[in-house]
Chains A and B, each alone.
Chain A
Amino acid sequence: MTPREIAVVALVAGGVFFAVVAAVGLIRLPDVYARAHSASKSETLGAVLTLGAVAASYGVGFNALKVLLLLLFMFLTNPTAAHAITRAAHELGIEPWTGDEGDEP
């Protein structure tokens, strides 16, 4: 394996791992706000690593730069989207789960 292949495999493995973490969080966490945590963060790092792998597979060049642009765009918009959704939830009066209602998820 060339160093580049190793880098791609490692990055992809990391990306898939964090995507799985995000998915598990999406199932296990108890309320909208907590799920948004998992979706906005693990998801973004998953995207960073995987798109990093894509960029690495292209090598240095314009395509890699384009992937980085895509990454930058997701970086800007993902947290804003998460904010928009939780803000709507807050505005709709959805109470955050605080753990004292008793029912464990």
Chain B
Amino acid sequence: MSDSERRVERGGPYVGSPIIMATVRVVMPFVFTFGLFVMFHGADSSGGGFQGGVIVGTVVLMLGIAFGIDTTREWIGPRLPVALVGTGVLAFLFTGIGSVLLGAGFLEYAVYGELGIPHASKYGIEFVELAIGVIVAGIVTGLFFAIAAGANGGESA
């Protein structure tokens, strides 16, 4: 009990628990891999871009909770979420409009087969799922930091 009294009296800063930090360190790469796995397997199993993106975003949330939001924000940097969303949107548009340029409808992947890409439909869907996943991951991360920043004084991420 003495420890808690000391902490209350001292009013010292809340220090993250090393146990939570170590667990997050260990679990994180596997969660990240799992998120990417779900993203890549959107076409033929449960999952897809949205789910995978959220799981990848979760990695950042875990870091933020275990190590402190400011620390994580410094590590991620302000540009990364924005860059992710931008890249994802560009990739999506590129695939969508690409099929239009080849004379088919928007996002009609089968037409890429004419360029000699095997399983054009499948890979097309994978690619778009991946783009969506990247967008979602970027948005989840960005929103998390934006909400956290809103509470302590309006500096946005």
Contacts and interface: CB of A to CB of B under 8 A. Distances in A.
Contacts, number: 24
Contacts of B27: 73, 76-77
Interface string B70-99: 000000000000000000000000000000
A83 B8 contact: no
Interface string A60-84: 0000000000000100110010011
B4 A87 contact: no
Interface of B: 1, 4, 7-8, 14, 17, 19-20, 23, 26-27, 30
Nearest to B21: A80
Contact-residue size bin, chain A (C-beta under 8 Å from the other chain): 10 to 19
A83 B20 contact: yes
A51 to B, nearest CB: 17
Contact of B17 (A73, A83, A95): A83
8 contacts: A76-B23, A76-B26, A87-B17, A90-B4, A91-B4, A91-B14, A93-B4, A93-B8
A91 B5 CA distance: 9
A77 B23 contact: yes
B15 to A, nearest CB: 10
Contacts of B30: 73
B24 to A, nearest CB: 8
Given A80-B19, A83-B19, 20 more contacts: A73-B27, A73-B30, A76-B23, A76-B26, A76-B27, A77-B23, A80-B20, A80-B23, A83-B17, A83-B20, A84-B17, A84-B19, A84-B20, A90-B4, A91-B4, A91-B7, A91-B14, A93-B4, A93-B8, A95-B1
